[in-house]
Structure 1
Amino acid sequence: MMLITQSDYNRIYRVINSLLVNENANPATASMYFSTFGAFILEQHFKIKAKAKSGLAAYNLDGKYILFADQRDDGYVSGAGENFHCWVVADDWAIDFMTPTFSQSTSGLVIPPKMFQRPLSSMRPSINDLSQSGDFFYRSEPDATSRRFADWQKNPMIGDLASLAANWFRKSPRKMQASITVRHQDGKSSAVPLIGNSLVGAW
């Protein structure tokens, strides 16, 4: 059982990915786009209550241990600093629409593009318990998230891109446009093609 199908997950990931590539978005902040736009699409198209979260995130993907966190002076790791990650929580599911891009956004990391959609109940108790591929651990940092998103969402482009993403997306098996026209601040328009990795399964 899954909250959304792999096909719909793939479409949401590709729509957001295509818009970010077109905007030359910074991979370091890409998870903010993937989570907020993904949550917006889930609410708009699926009527699912979804929320973007951010903080510490840790994954075991194909035996590769991926940690988004800062090491503090006292030895603890924290997701409240610069090295944070964002994900979506929806109906007791954790969904990360960015995992298919991990190999592109992290140098030296080679993992296959797969869907990450897991019940929150399957989350491991700590970052030291990620023994199997697909294991994950999140620790949300609400205060840091509020500060982070408050500044970021002041940019008027964010709302425009979120609306574009939601307008472009179509639930499978409906046909999706192969490209979308984006109007820029200088009045010019350009076509953004639908691009992204083809998924090869799920974590």
Structure 2
Amino acid sequence: MQSSSSSAQSLRPLIPLADYQRIFRVIHSVLHSVEADIPAASFFFSVTAAQILKKFYKRNAFPVAGAAFYLIREDGGGALSFGTLADDGQSVASTHDAFHAWVQCDGYAIDFMAPLFQELLASAGHPLPVPRQMFQKDLGRMRESVQGLAQAGDFHLAPNLELTRELLQQFMAKKALTNLSQLCLEWFRKPPKAMPDDLALQGADGEVSRIKLQATRIDGVW
């Protein structure tokens, strides 16, 4: 039986909430500045966040695409699903048209789009109030199946390595995406260093615009 201290240690997040929030804000702000389709940007979030974790935190982080299922409410109507679920309620799959992406890092799953779960549901035609919270879970706590989701914050992930490779190749081949991702790395400062509130961006025509840091507040954890 684990002691309370060892249990607390195993549940301790890999990165603090303040750091998670800052990584999220930087990526979200850059995407917002170019009017990106943010609900469809989970792979951009994951690739860029993984690069930030590697560069600034020296973590073995990498993006993963696949099927993802999160329970956000316990009343039977609060499951957020990415991918397909077979009629048996057990088999899950993901494709280019039905997937989600997250970061896997040292035995943890970190979803940097979790603060936007409400927007993701709204874009799918299912508006529900969802708190803006951090999702950072030890993979050992993952439910074995979708049917096992019982409490808010429960999750089931099914990585699709072939899809991940294809999406990563497509991402790296698009200079506009890699440039935006690099911009996030240049702007980011690891706490407790001060973070600039905006960033100057010079266009091809020489005109300078400024990207404002979105002050989206994350209020807790899943």
**Under TM normalisation by the shorter chain, which class is it?**
over 0.9
Matched-pair contact (CA < 8 Å) for 1:70–1:81: no
| Residue 162 of structure 1: how far off its partner (Å) | 1.6
Match of 1:69 among 83, 98, 101: 83
Looking at structure 2, the residues matched to 134 and 141 of structure 1 have their Cα atoms a distance apart, in angstroms, of 22
- Give me the whole-angstrom Cα distance separating, in 2, the residues matched to 1:176 and 1:67: 34
Q: Does residue 85 of the first structure (1) align with residue 96 of the second (2)? A: no
CA distance in 2, matches of 1:84, 1:109: 20
Aligned residue runs from structure 1 range 40-119, under 5 A = 40-63=51-74, 64-70=78-84, 76-107=91-122, 108-119=127-138
> 69-78 vs 27-36, which deviates more?
69-78
Aligned position for 2:195: 176
Give the TM-score of the pair, scaled to structure 1.
Answer: 0.93
How large is the Cα RMSD of the aligned pairs? 1.8
- Distance (Å, rounded) in 1 between the aligned partners of 2:67 and 2:13: 24
- Distance in structure 1 (CA, Å) of the matches to 2:181 and 2:96: 25
Q: Which runs of 5+ in 1 are unaligned?
A: none
Amino acid at match of 1:26: D
Please say which of residues 6-15 and 150-159 is displaced more in the overlay. Answer: 150-159
State the percentage of identical aligned residues: 34
Say if 2:92 and 2:158, in contact at 8 Å, map to a contact too: no
What CA distance in whole angstroms lies between the structure 1 residues aligned with 2:98 and 2:39? 8
- Counterpart of 2:186 in structure 1 is 167
Q: What TM-score, normalized by structure 2, do the two folds share?
A: 0.85
Deviation at 1:61, TM superposition (A): 1.6
Q: For the residues of structure 1 that align with 2:204 and 2:161, how far apart are their CA atoms?
A: 33
Hey, what's the Cα distance between the residues in 1 that align with 2:73 and 2:215?
20
Instruction: List per-residue Cα deviations over 1:149-174 (Å, max 9, x = no partner).
Output: 21232110222112211121112221
Report the structure number with the largest CA radius of gyration.
Answer: 2
Stretches of structure 2 lacking an aligned partner (at least 5 in a row): 1-11
Provide runs of 4+ in structure 1 moved above 4 Å.
Answer: 71-76
